[in-house]
């Protein structure tokens, strides 16, 4: 298998590819409409962007299920906006999974305690529509997968790469967005949480670069944010708070709380509710799985399935990564582990459509698999 040489891929444990002859240097997500993601529900319904139809399969009342269609917005940012707009608590809004920011995406959400007619939002970058009454919320993981429509605007010169991808499948790594595509620190924060070092988790979220935990070249954010992180690392908390741009909501919440209370642990728990803290932990779990899989492949092993670290599983080639994280800590953090296919194939792939200098490809993937990984393997495509 081909060795991958890419700084971000190596940092998150992605070292190997099934595709020997990739199309070189493809770029994705140059425009929001270049990356379209439409959720496929557990029942097999497509949450279409053009004409979303939401069905409820649970009798009763108490919740509204609706389609969330967003453009250029991060999922948690969109949830915060909806909560504020509708006057409900953030944790009363359920969703099955996060979707890409630099994209146009659609997915099911649920909202507790309102009527369908109260759930309608029509904004340029956020729409909530097709609301129906339902007896149960949408929970994390409650989806079958996603359908992707991807445009690459510099064309595709390697049909051979696509054929390899369809014939061999791709290594089922966890993708870049699991760790933070613009600032890959989620797994670092997750490791500190598993170790019980919440103060270090606070510091890593705010200033991992200044702690030497993430290379500068992998961070893509405004210079004001970088200056704020440096100020925090040097003890200038008020200055850092003032310097962070308004859309850096969590950094600003953390620092504002710290100025009031002086308690990093309390502020971290207040700022990040459980469902966000568990995502950090899952990011570390994904990192360990990526690295252990790459190490296994380097030793000539390619098992059909590979375990996720947890209190029910043992992972080979990852002992150094799990040092200090006992089984009891994994159990306390609700990290049971499991197994995950090593090789995945595209569901219902369509032929690449060439339109002048751009190429359009549409395919579906089961939940837990990443379009960015498939495209990176086949075309070395990156944002």
The residues assigned a catalytic role are: 100
Task: Based on DSSP, count helices (H) and strands (E) in the chain, helices before strands.
Answer: 12, 15
Cβ atoms 12, 190 nearer than 8 A: no
Q: Rounded to the nearest 10 degrees, how much is the dihedral formed by the CA atoms of 345, 350, 351, 353?
A: -130
171 CB-near residues (< 8 Å, 6+ apart): 1, 14, 16, 17, 18, 293, 297, 342, 343, 373, 377
Give me the residues paired with residue 40 across strands.
Answer: 46, 145
Q: In the structure encoding, which two tokens stand for residue 306, read together?
A: 């590979």
Residue listed under structure tokens 């270090």 = 200
Element (H or E) spanning 329, and its range?
helix 327-332
Tokens coding 59: 């009798």
Output the 3-class SS for 5-73: CCHHHHHCCCCEECCCCCCCCCECCCCHHHEEEEEECCCCCECCCCCCCCCCCCCCCCEEEEEEEEECC
Cα(28)–Cα(50) distance, integer angstroms: 22
Strands (E), 118-179: 121-122, 126-134, 145-152, 170-171
């Amino acid at each position: 298998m081909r060795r991958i040489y890419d700084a971000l891929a190596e940092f998150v444990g992605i070292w190997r590819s099934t595709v020997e002859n990739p199309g070189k240097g493809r770029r994705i997500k140059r425009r929001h409409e270049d990356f379209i993601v439409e959720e496929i529900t557990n029942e097999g319904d497509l949450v279409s962007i053009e004409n979303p139809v939401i069905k409820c399969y649970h009798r009763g009342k108490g919740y509204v299920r609706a389609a969330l269609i967003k453009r250029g917005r991060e999922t948690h940012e969109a949830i915060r906006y909806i909560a504020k707009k509708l006057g409900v608590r953030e944790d009363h809004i359920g969703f099955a999974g996060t979707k890409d920011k630099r994209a146009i995406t659609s997915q099911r959400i649920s909202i507790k305690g309102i009527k369908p007619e109260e759930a309608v939002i029509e904004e340029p970058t956020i729409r909530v529509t097709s609301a129906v009454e339902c007896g149960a919320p949408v929970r994390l993981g409650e989806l079958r997968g996603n359908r992707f429509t991807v445009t690459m605007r510099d064309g595709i010169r390697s049909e051979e790469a696509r054929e390899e991808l369809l014939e061999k499948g791709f290594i089922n790594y966890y993708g870049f967005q699991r760790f933070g595509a613009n600032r890959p620190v989620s797994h670092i924060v997750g490791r500190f949480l598993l170790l019980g070092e919440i103060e270090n988790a606070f510091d890593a979220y705010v200033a991992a670069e200044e702690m030497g935990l993430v290379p500068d070249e992998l961070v893509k954010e405004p210079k004001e944010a970088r200056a704020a992180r440096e100020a925090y690392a040097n003890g200038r908390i008020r200055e850092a708070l003032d310097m962070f741009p308004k859309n850096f909501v969590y950094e600003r919440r953390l620092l504002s709380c710290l100025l009031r209370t002086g308690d990093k642990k309390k502020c971290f728990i207040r700022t990040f509710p459980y469902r966000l803290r568990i995502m950090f932990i899952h990011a570390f779990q994904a990192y360990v799985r990526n690295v252990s899989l790459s190490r296994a492949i380097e030793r000539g092993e390619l098992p059909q399935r590979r375990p996720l670290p947890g209190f029910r599983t043992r992972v080979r080639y990852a002992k150094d990564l799990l040092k200090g994280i006992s089984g009891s800590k994994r159990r306390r953090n609700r990290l049971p582990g499991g197994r995950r296919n090593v090789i995945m194939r595209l569901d219902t792939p369509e032929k690449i459509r060439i339109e002048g200098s751009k190429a359009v490809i549409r395919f579906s993937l089961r939940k837990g698999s990443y379009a960015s990984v498939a495209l990176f393997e086949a075309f070395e495509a990156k944002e």
